[in-house]
Amino acid sequence: MTTPHHATDFLHDLRLRSAAEGGVFWMEDDLLAVFEPNAARQVSGANWHRLVMPDRLVDLIRRRHSPQMRWTRVRGAWLAQLHKLTTAEHNADLITRMERIIDARLGDDVDLVMLAQEVAVQSMLPVALSGLTPREARHISEDLNQKLLRLIARRPGAGPRHHLRFAAVQIRAGIVVRRVLRERAAGRRPRELDLADPIVDLLPELGMDRALDVVTAVLTAIGGPPGAAAASVLYELARNPEWARRLSVELRDVDPAGFRAAPTKAAPVTHRFVKEVLRMWSPPLLLMRRSRFSFDLGTTRLEKDQGYLLSPHMIHRDPRCWQQADTFDPDRFLPGAPHGPVDKGHYVPFGWAPKNCVGADIGMIQLMALCYLMCTRYRLTVPNAESITMAYRFAPVPQEFRGHLAAERSVV
């Protein structure tokens, strides 16, 4: 077990208010914090009920309705594709892609936050959008990278030149996505097993603008949280040598084929470790939503078009939900542990139905693969790991987190 971590003043104040006001309180006139687990589940379920995509711009201008597209149809298409993308064979490919990125950094003194981001995002990119030319991949990566820097930088860039550059990069990435969808639909580009592909079949109903929004939603989803979670995995591995040893013992003996097929079953200690990392440091810290309907939340009422905030992090650190909420201890996920989750609504790293994360399984596989690589292939050295603190940006981000990676030995 380790000592508690520091929170920024903002989050600290938010926690105090949440504790004093039962988890549901007005932060501003039209912004409601919903940090109580049942209320969070209720508001999500009610707000996204029968969600349909907004009309296309062209139809809005012509004052007509676009073909109706239920959001569950888009999610269903993604989930079916992700099911095919999480077989042993595809998991092995994901691990290989991650390994290649790390191999290129061996021996250097590296910024581990940026390395974790690069490993997570670049290895996941083919799951979202594959078959790109190197130039197209560069445009997409540049867009993801600039969005990420905006999210984690202490002082994000400002000024008209910065905004213009930001917009230009974003537009170029949009052009790439449109071209890929158009060429796949016209048979001029092969179809791929990725999350963009089912959108090609929905193009006649979606139209290009809405299709671009859908693909951009996936790119945005892989651009922030997976890398932040990966950095937190490295952070806890570096700060907890005893846990790093327990993972190494498990992962060095694991049957590689079994691990590739079902990592959570093959490596339960590692699974607990990753679950605890996601409890302590779940990204993003705050989810800002707008209510589509008016609804009653017991103690207060949310009107249509008011904002509300959800936060897995606030629930995961709430002492009413978790004993020793600020202590890192993966064994709390052992069956019957006294400090474990009392209710499944208390552990929500992937959000709430019906808008919960579609990439939860593949995201978990990726984080377990990172542990696997770190404990069997590489040796991570982080000077003064115990003094490294977390800063709260869009997600928890370890500060001045630098280290050195060396090759350990060949396992497979």
Residues contributing to the site for ligand HEM (CB under 6 A): 44, 75, 124, 127-128, 217-218, 221-222, 225-226, 229, 282-283, 287, 312, 349-352, 355-359, 362-363, 367
Q: Smallest distance, Å, CB 48 to ligand HEM?
A: 8
Q: Which is nearer to ligand HEM, 259 or 350 (CB)?
A: 350
Q: Which is nearer to ligand HEM, 217 or 261 (CB)?
A: 217
Tell me how far, at minimum, the Cβ of 133 lies from ligand HEM, in Å. Answer: 22
CB of 71 to ligand HEM, least distance (A): 6
Residue 395 or 405 with smaller CB distance to ligand HEM: 395
Q: Give the residue from 261, 401, 258, 243 showing the smallest Cα distance to 332.
A: 243
Nearest to 151 by CA among 402, 396, 403: 396
Cis peptide before 54 (omega within 30 of 0): no
Please say whether the beta carbons of 399 and 105 come within 8 A.
Answer: no
Contact partners, residue 90, CB within 8 Å, separation at least 6: 84
**Residue closer to ligand HEM (CB basis): 26 or 394:** 394
Burial of 361 (0-12, 13-18, 19+ CB in 10 A): middle
Cβ atoms of residues 5 and 390 within 8 Å: yes
Nearest distance in Å: CB 350, ligand HEM: 5
Q: Please, which residue, 259 or 281, has the CB nearer to ligand HEM? A: 281
State the minimum distance, in angstroms, from the CB of residue 154 to ligand HEM. Answer: 22
Of 49 and 62, the one with the shorter C-beta distance to ligand HEM is 49
| Cβ proximity to ligand HEM, 116 vs 221, nearer residue | 221
Q: In what order do the strands lie in the sheet with 24-28?
A: 24-28, 31-34, 307-310, 287-290
Q: Of 132 and 358, which has the nearer Cβ to ligand HEM?
A: 358
Smallest separation, CB 318 to ligand HEM (Å): 16
Q: How far is the CB of 241 from ligand HEM (least distance, A)?
A: 24
Compare residues 79 and 408 and give the one whose CB is closer to ligand HEM.
79
Write down the least CB distance from residue 227 to ligand HEM, Å: 9
Residue 136 beta carbon to ligand HEM: minimum distance, rounded to whole angstroms:
19
CA 278, CA 348: separation in Å to the nearest integer? 9
Residue 261 or 357 having the CB closest to ligand HEM: 357
User: Which residue, 244 or 348, has its beta carbon nearer to ligand HEM?
Assistant: 348
Closest by Cα among 171, 130, 169, 133 to 149 = 169
CB-nearest residue to ligand HEM: 359
Q: Are the C-beta atoms of residues 169 and 110 closer than 8 Å to each other?
A: no
Closest CB 144 distance from ligand HEM, rounded Å: 13
In the complex, what is the shortest distance from the CB of residue 366 to ligand HEM, in angstroms, rounded to a whole number? Answer: 7
